[in-house]
Copies of this chain bind each other. A is one copy, B any other.
């Protein structure tokens, strides 16, 4: 008799995501994770091999979907002749926003992703770059067409800034307090709108 409709693997991934977001990769122990997932301690090493592999799977589960959505949105933008800079930015930002709004742990995952940046861990960076770098490169090409006055290096710098601000905003790091009655969802939606306006102006700067 299980406490959930989900498989052992899925329950471990869900619990790990929440606890990694809250306490970090080193700070959350497998005992905490397995207790929260209502599975035996040994299940992590049985299903994933090691804690390190579990961490990678937490990323894979969400990023596969995120990148597919970004890719699809970007392809739509590429096909339209009248697409604006805001459209391309939206193709980059909206999928991340939607993921962060996902009812089951999306918000936690965005915090996990922000932690990965902070970790500066080479193994993790290589994993992310190897598996998801190609989509980012395609975005750069599209932005380059839309902003021909910027040389490639300048463009890289500005997109790097946008990525940083996006991560920061989606992980809810900001100092802006949610007003009473405002849900976490609509707070993030606001953040995305403001970010698109801000980033579009920043990218267009001479």
Contact = CB atoms under 8 A, between A and B. Distances in A.
Interface in A32-48: none
A175 B136 contact: yes
- Interface extent on A, as a size class? 35 or more
B173 A157 contact: no
A134 B174 CA distance: 16
A188 interface: no
A95 B117 CA distance: 23
A168 B169 contact: no
Contacts of A117: 114, 118, 168, 173
A23 interface: yes
A169 to B, nearest CB: 6
Contacts of A157: 176, 190-191, 194, 198
Interface of A: 21-27, 111, 114-115, 117-120, 129, 136, 154, 156-158, 160-165, 167-169, 171, 173-176, 190-191, 194-195, 197-205
